[in-house]
Structure 1
Amino acid sequence: MKTSIIGLAMFITVISVVAPQAASAQTLQGTHRQELSRHNLGMPGYEEIQLRVDIDPGVTAPNHRHPGEEIIYVIEGTLEYRLEGKPPMTLKAGDVLFVPTGVVHSATNVGHTVAAELGTYIVPIGKPLVEVVK
C-alpha cells in the first residue's frame, strides 16, 4: 500500500513538472515554433526569448498579445500583420516590425510558401509568453 502511494505521489510530481512544459510547446495548427534562446537580462525581472515561427500558406496566427515588447524579423515569405489601432501591413523577408507591450496583433501568411519570422521578446520572467485574445 505504501509503495503505491509513493508511486502515485511521484507520478503526480512528474506530471506537474512536465505538463506545463508540454502545453507551452504546443502550436496552433499550421504554425510551428522553435525556441532558439532564453536568457535573463541585466534588467532585473526580465528575460529575452527568441523564437523561430513558421506559418504555413494561408494560415493566420490568431489575435494575441505579449507581456512585453516583441521585435519581429521576417526570415522568408510574405506575412500580413494586423496590429490593434493600425492598418494592416505586409512584410517580406528582411523587414522588421516592433510590437509594443500588450498590443493585440495577428499574422497571416499571404504567400504560397511557408513564411518564417524570428521573434525576439523582452518579457517579465515567469509570465506566459502568449495570451490569445478572442
Structure 2
Amino acid sequence: VGAPSMKFMTDMIKNYSNFASKGNIKLTAESKAGKLTFEEVKTQIDGKLPIVAGVNTSGKNGPTEHVCVIIGYNETTIKPEKGGEVKCKFIKVNDPFPFNQFGKNPYVSAGGKDLGNGQYEILYDDFVNKLKWKETMFNIK
C-alpha cells in the first residue's frame, strides 16, 4: 500500500523517531512539489543525505506513481567525434522494484544503465523528463 502523498511520507519520517527511539533520535525532512536541480542533488549527496524522488515510471503526466531514492551523482565530460566537449550529468538511483519481472524496465527504457541489485545510473535530464520527476523529499537527517 502506497503513501497518499510525499507530504504524508515526510511526516511519517519525522514522526518515526517517536516510535523507533522513543523520541531520543530526531529525524527531519522536507518535501516539495517538483524536482531538485542538479546542483541541489550534488549538495544533498555531498552532505550524505539521500533524496526520495516521486516519479512516473510510465512516463505519463499525472499523480506520482512510484518513489525511488537518489544516492549519488557523476559528472563526466565526453568528446564527441564532431569535436567539442559535452558535460554529462548522471544520478545514481536505488529502486528495488523488480521491473524486469513485469515487463519493461523504465530506467533502461529512459536510457539508463542497470547496475544490478535495484541500482541504476541515468542522465539527470532523462530522469527529470522521461521519468517525470515531480515530487521530492530531501534534507532527510
TM-score (norm 1): 0.28
Kindly name which structure, 1 or 2, has the bigger radius of gyration based on alpha carbons: 1
Bigger fraction of residues in helix: 2
Bigger fraction of residues in strand: 1
TM-score (norm 2): 0.28
